[in-house]
Amino acid sequence: MQRLGGVLLFSLWASLAHANAPLPGDIIEDLRGLQAQLAEGDFDSVAERGAVQAERLASGNASDRWASALYHQLAAGALARMEQPARAADHLAEARQTRGVEAEQAARWLREEASLRHAAGQDDQSIRLLSEWLDSEQDAAALWQLVRLMAQEAQWEAAAERLEQAIAQTDRLDEDQQALALAVLRRTGQGGQALSWLVEGLDLDSDADAWRQAAGLAQQAGQPGMAAGLWDTAWQLGKLDEAEDFWLLIELHRAGGTPARAAERLEQALERGDIERDERTLRLLATSWQQARDIRHALSAWKALADETQKATDWRQYGQLAYAWGEEHQAEAALAEAARLGDEQASQWLARFD
């Protein structure tokens, strides 16, 4: 609010220098006196006199109307400094709507009023005013502000239209702009486009959050294979190195149609000693190789799991899988072990080998 008050004060100097109607000397002196009071912090007096003078001169000739608009601006500057943005915005609305005010000056007041409306929580009005201003001006920062306001008000389609303009006027998007752009594109059903755009921007210098965001968007776009590939690449680049990142990598590969890669990553981690050789890990390894339909690796992993757990159900599943894949010798041995551990279904299966 202090910054905006300063902008309004500066704008008054510019307005006096480029007056579109001559002002009497006493009015100029009064305006300068109020400017000095404003700079000294006498906000109440400036706001009160500015409002009174603006109303008094509003119905006069061209010079009076111009002076009225400038008094409105001074009152707005004082109220902005007093953290009363709604009242300040009302004064600027009066100023810019004054008959005879040049379009360029009205546009400046329009932009400032939009900022005040936002500060006052009047976002619908702020969006309308900022949109009107941007129809005749090019300002990337203002465009991004408008996109954010529209997103906050769930005006997703309108936000997407302005987003296209904002991106076109921005050389390189920062993290906040990227996040906003992705949110708008997802909400408007353009997840695929957002994903393509985001992936194109990934490189060795991209941080972990960028890779996470890309993988997450791929999942939301119904492309689990791409999500797994992105996560795997980030893992290999050392961007993701937490334990939970590893286990999510495994799940992404299993869900994304690359279970063999999940199994390979598990085996590598076991060899390095990065993860424990426990039931959970061995079961993931066995089911991943099974999902990949790699017969040799799957049967070996199921045997290792059954050896580890000594559960009858694991021996039976190992045996049934071996039988289905034509490995009858392994199947009979596994089912016999399951039967020995009390599995009745395994005993029934053994009858097939008589």
Locate tokens 């502000």: which residue? 145
pLDDT tens digits, 276-305: 999 999 999 999 999 999 999 999 999 999
The radius of gyration computed from the CA coordinates of the chain, to the nearest angstrom, equals 35
**What pLDDT does 42 receive?**
92
pLDDT tens digits, 241-269: 899 999 999 999 999 999 999 999 999 99
231, 217 contact by CB (below 8 A): no
**What pLDDT does 200 receive?**
76
**What pLDDT does 50 receive?**
94
Number of Cα atoms under 13 Å in the Cβ half of residue 288 = 24
Q: What is the rounded average pLDDT for all residues in the chain?
A: 88
Q: How confident is the model at residue 218 (pLDDT cuts 50, 70, 90)?
A: confident
Is residue 258 exposed (0-12), middle (13-18) or buried (19+ Cβ within 10 Å)? buried
Taking residues 85-112, what's their average pLDDT? 91
pLDDT tens digits, 8-67: 554 565 565 555 667 888 998 999 899 899 889 999 999 999 999 999 999 999 999 999
Is residue 123 exposed (0-12), middle (13-18) or buried (19+ Cβ within 10 Å)? middle
Pick the residue with more confidence: 141 or 176? 141
pLDDT of 97 strictly over 50: yes
**What pLDDT does 16 receive?**
59
245, 236 contact by CB (below 8 A): no
